[in-house]
Amino acid sequence: MHRVVNGLAQQSVDIVDTDRTVAPRLVELCRRAAGEGVVLLRNVDGVLPLPAHAPVAVFGRVQCDWFAVGYGSGGDVKAPYEVSLLEALREAGVAVVGELAAAYETWAAANPPDEGYWGNWPRHFDEMPLDAGLVSRASREAGVAVVVIGRAAGEDRESVLEPGSYYLTDAERAMLDAVVARFERVVVVVNTGNVMDLSWADDYGDRLAGLILAWQGGMEGSRGLVDVLTGAVSPSGRLTDTIARRYEDYPSAPNFGHRHFNNYAEDVFVGYRYFETFAPEAVQFPFGFGLGYATFELGAAEFSGGGDGDGDVAVSVEVRNVGERSGREVVQLYVAAPDGALGKPSRALVGYAKTAELAPGESERVSLMVPRAALASYDDGGATGHRSAWVLEPGTYTLYMGADVRTAERVGAVEVPELVVVEQLAEACAVDPEAPFRRMTVRRDGAAARVGWEDVPTRTVDLRRRILDALAVEIPVTGYRGVQFDDVAAGRRSMDEFVAQLSDEELEALTRGHGRMNSPLGAVGNAGVFGGILESLRAKGVPPVTCTDGPSGIRLSAYASLLPCGTALASTWDPALVRELAAEHALEMVRKGSDVLLSPGMNIHRDPLCGRNFEYFSEDPLVTGRMGAAVVAGVQSRGVAACPKHFAANNQETNRSKNDSRVSERALREIYLKGFEIVVKEAWPQTIMTSYNKINGVWAHYNYELVTTILRDQWGYDGMVMTDWWMQHSRDPHFPEVWDSAYRVRAGVDVLMPGSTVDGLRRGVDRSLLRSLAKGDGVRRGELQAVAGRVLRFVEVSRPARSGRGEGVEPDSRSAGIG
């Protein structure tokens, strides 16, 4: 299926690499990950796997026009190949009904799908009208029918509560009705990257015997699915989101999709944290759920540690395959914390592990270690007497283990006799007092939980004072003294000595990209280049650094592998597999000339309608953090860099560059920042990307408290931070002579990408830094030097995939902005 490459750039580029070769190991890992991410939701009377050599009738045009990935920067990869489901079935020797398959192939060829254009991608493809005679003849030839329904979403475009997006179309419903009426055994495959409504599955009862979520699995996705359908692979994927019976039951529904702002009124009660606490009856398929062909039993759990809330908790359990087929099991561990003064969800995931492939009768002991901090809650209002602190409130912390959040059983408890302050921090990114709202909490009527509401704590910090107290000290300027960048890398001279030589113009250039996508300083079709963008910097040995999207593959003009989407990877619940895949993918980065992969996408699935959910991992921060850490560790093991994004609270595409995410500090810390915190502390990404949106009134790329207070000061991160592509104009309300890039640098955001502001085509490169530097109360040279130092340390550590490219090339007047 044809896909538009570099749609965002809106420019034509020469194809310089026509090599479609993909490393066999990468192909193998893509197929394995796609298959292990498939989630089997229903399997009545063992309708799956498909019986060997028996004819199968396949319905739905998506069998021909397969959705391999979503749209936008997270999907528009120039894939070397894509395989339709019909092709994959035939490859595997499945006896598809010939007349039916030919009818779909002929109709699909005569009615090719419209791929749309940027921000106007198709959400579905029109279905072939079904002839009753064709259905009847197919039912006489095959005992099993497979019906395929496809959905897509993408950047700059939400899913919507309409047929063809979140809901079935009339044609799809008619197809299901006709097939279920004629076939005794029907399996539905939902090919998507985002959650859609599945309530219709219950309307058919057991006549709809099989239901599978085949997340968009990239170039090998259809083959991974067929491995599951035929039984070559036992399904082991598990849901990373709750699937509710109605959209209106999601706690985010009243506060999603508004143009100017969204109050995150559900607070920490996101996804299963809400449903398991307040509305279990509203759930169709619970978080962590998934069936397999194997059957497992968990032995008695062994439990130790955590006495008086002091120290880590260890839980181990024997997992035995008591079925007749091989398979893998996912063991999940949840905590039920005491409500106390803060109010807690009934369940929160604190650990998980996936077994190896276990043959019938085989067993494996799974051990999970839960850090004490994983049991803590964040007090953002001082309800416990310790504002801006991670605390363990007194009471019983009960641990539940099982195959999903709903069926997990009690395995032990930790008693905390008195309040424990796990970590005292400082307030940051609290709600603006000018925009207060009420947030959800829990109230108890005996054992029953009900929704309560309370005022959200608001900001108390004097941000101007905080900034002035921490301004970087200037390194005395020396002018050029012959120190080359290689001297720093070799340890012969210090980074401060090198930075001291740089002019203000060179310092400023290090704080931005080259000014355009598809920079001539990098591989053709690149997202942007930073670092050695001036000839004088390259003369001192600073190379240009090439960035490329993204989460599903390297987005260049060259052919590059198309990986499973983020939801598919997370649904494997296998960080080791994801790390191995990322490491192999990084070797392709080196071959193609990419130094920085703008991946992984790490925003929370707050609402099922978010258009970019397919790029992200989960509604849960632990799954998000562990999967993100796996991608980062894998990529960076090969000497190139990963760039987790979008930091932070980028949870909708509607008016994404101006929308304000109004969210409590507690919800930020426990839900929306937690995954990033895990990635920083476990995988140490060399760079991180900020988001487009505002957070409590301040754009992320200007947000000092987000980037400096939390990320750098509290988490200890000393890497580089870049913007998402382009940024909004704004003036720092605390410092009138600090605006645009000066505002960004003061916040601690190192690099503006691709190097221009939102209207860069008209205004050229943003010069606010040098203008502000000349003002007495503007940005300080020490701040520019601090940013330059971080950028240069990144260049030193990241070891670009190819050095010396673009020597002597200077941008002309047409290179600012996009062409």
What is the full DSSP assignment across 562-578?
-PPPHHHHHHTT-HHHH
Q: Is the peptide bond before 371 cis (omega within 30 degrees of 0)?
A: no
Picking from 233, 251, 273, the residue at the C-terminal end of a domain is: 233
Quote the pLDDT of residue 817: 26
Give me 160's structure tokens: 């919507």
Within 62-143, strands assigned E span none
Question: Whole-angstrom Cα distance, residue 691 to residue 263?
Answer: 17
Quote the pLDDT of residue 799: 61
Quote the pLDDT of residue 2: 35
Same-domain status, 400 and 484: no
The residue range of the domain holding 722 is: 464-798
Same-domain status, 637 and 758: yes
At residue 258, what are phi and psi to the nearest 5 degrees? -70, 145
Judge contact between 121 and 115, C-beta under 8 A.
yes
Residue 575, judged by CB atoms within 10 A of its CB (0-12, 13-18, 19+), counts as buried
Question: Residue 148 falls within a domain, yes or no?
Answer: yes
- For the chain, the domain total comes to 3
Catalytic member of 241, 379, 574, 724 = 724
Question: Residue 2 falls within a domain, yes or no?
Answer: no
Same-domain status, 469 and 459: no
At residue 469, what are phi and psi to the nearest 5 degrees? -70, -10
Question: Residue 647 falls within a domain, yes or no?
Answer: yes
Cα 507–728–513 angle (5° rounding)?
35
Same-domain status, 397 and 470: no
Question: Residue 565 falls within a domain, yes or no?
Answer: yes
> What CATH number does the domain containing 426 carry?
2.60.40.10
Q: How many CB atoms lie within 10 A of CB 495?
A: 18
Judge contact between 623 and 570, C-beta under 8 A.
yes
Same-domain status, 175 and 307: no
Same-domain status, 523 and 429: no
Same-domain status, 311 and 429: yes
Quote the pLDDT of residue 16: 55
Question: Residue 266 falls within a domain, yes or no?
Answer: no
Same-domain status, 514 and 402: no
Picking from 414, 434, 463, the residue at the C-terminal end of a domain is: 463
Same-domain status, 317 and 436: yes
Quote the pLDDT of residue 759: 58
Judge contact between 332 and 354, C-beta under 8 A.
no
Picking from 463, 481, 496, the residue at the C-terminal end of a domain is: 463
> What CATH number does the domain containing 228 carry?
3.40.50.1700
Question: Residue 770 falls within a domain, yes or no?
Answer: yes
Quote the pLDDT of residue 798: 76
Helix or strand (DSSP H, E) at 637: none
**Amino acid letter at 15?**
I
> What CATH number does the domain containing 784 carry?
3.20.20.300
Same-domain status, 437 and 494: no
Same-domain status, 426 and 477: no
Question: Residue 21 falls within a domain, yes or no?
Answer: no
pLDDT beneath 50, residues of the chain: 1-15, 761-763, 801-819
Question: Residue 255 falls within a domain, yes or no?
Answer: no
Judge contact between 330 and 236, C-beta under 8 A.
yes
Same-domain status, 423 and 495: no
Q: Is 724 a catalytic residue?
A: yes
